[in-house]
Amino acid sequence: MMFLNVLDDITKFFNDNLVLTIIIDAYLALLIISFVIFLCIKFKKAINLTIIGIFLIAIKFAADQFGFKISSMLYTTVLTAYIVICFILLAPELRKLMEYHKADDNKKAMVMSSTQATREAIVDAVFNMSAGKVGALITFELHNSLEQYAERAINLNSDISRELLEQIFIKDSPLHDGGVIIRGNKIICAAAYYTLSQDSTLDKTVGSRHRAGLGLSEITDSLTIIVSEETGTVHIACAGLMNVMNSKSELLEYINIYLGN
């Protein structure tokens, strides 16, 4: 009873203060509009969902205006369910956004950089695997911690060598699937699995290994080398972009620029 009395008092207060009511009402409406605009800018999928939502709201408004009571009740229920469906459909993108901010908060004070010999050994292994069409996924950690992926992978903490990398990704190896994470001169883990990219502009033929490397680059400042098992083509994924590496010198130069000489 006390709660209802307080609620009545609040309602009366707002009824007696029209200007304040309009300001708060406009502010709450602006929050919703801003959130929808943010989703549309951030996620392409949200644009289509917003268009459908506007269409449903327009029908609901027309039903209210013309006194179509059954349609009005039906579309009220549909709109409520539609909002829930939208959040379910956007869940992967929203999770990726939260992971990005979590990774950004976990920046290390100092980057553990690898030696030139280590980088050259990695490049040699990559192009040896490329020649043999052995699929590979090799990730360099920079500022954003990749510990959340390493925790779910197989711990190695091994010194890097060309031979070890090739053995990890050989087709009969139990560590073949997933990626290795490199921190400084160490392979800290193997068989690490990343969040796949949901980029709708990617070609349908782009496989899970490439989507994994690209997806990780979208939410961290890591650099991932990807070797295609089908074609032997070498790609690097960094900052949400994927580029082909045509030679050892090109790949080594890119790694040196990324990690610093």
Whether 1 shows a pLDDT value over 70: the answer reads: no
Hey, where are the domains in the chain?
2-104, 116-259
pLDDT at 39: 61
Residue bearing the bigger pLDDT, 260 or 98:
260
Of the candidates 197, 181, 185, the residue with the CA atom closest to the CA atom of residue 92 = 197
Q: Token pair 């980057």 is at which residue?
A: 111
Q: Are 178 and 191 in contact (CB under 8 A)?
A: yes
Averaged pLDDT for residues 88-106? 63
- Lookup: tokens for 10: 């609040």
Q: Which SS3 state, helix, strand or coil, does residue 113 take?
A: coil
- For 116-259, the fitting CATH number among 3.40.1700.10, 3.40.50.10440, 3.60.21.10, 2.60.260.20 is 3.40.1700.10
Whether 4 shows a pLDDT value over 60: the answer reads: yes
DSSP structure class, residue 170:
S
Q: Tens digit of pLDDT for each residue in 15-34?
A: 778 887 788 777 766 776 77
Contacts of 174 (CB under 8 A, 6+ apart): 191
Question: How many angstroms separate the CA atoms of 156 and 150, rounded?
Answer: 10
Highest mean predicted confidence (pLDDT) among 79-83, 138-142, 145-149: 138-142
Question: How many angstroms separate the CA atoms of 87 and 77, rounded?
Answer: 16
Highest mean predicted confidence (pLDDT) among 47-51, 86-90, 250-254: 250-254
Beta strands 186-192 and 234-238 are unpaired
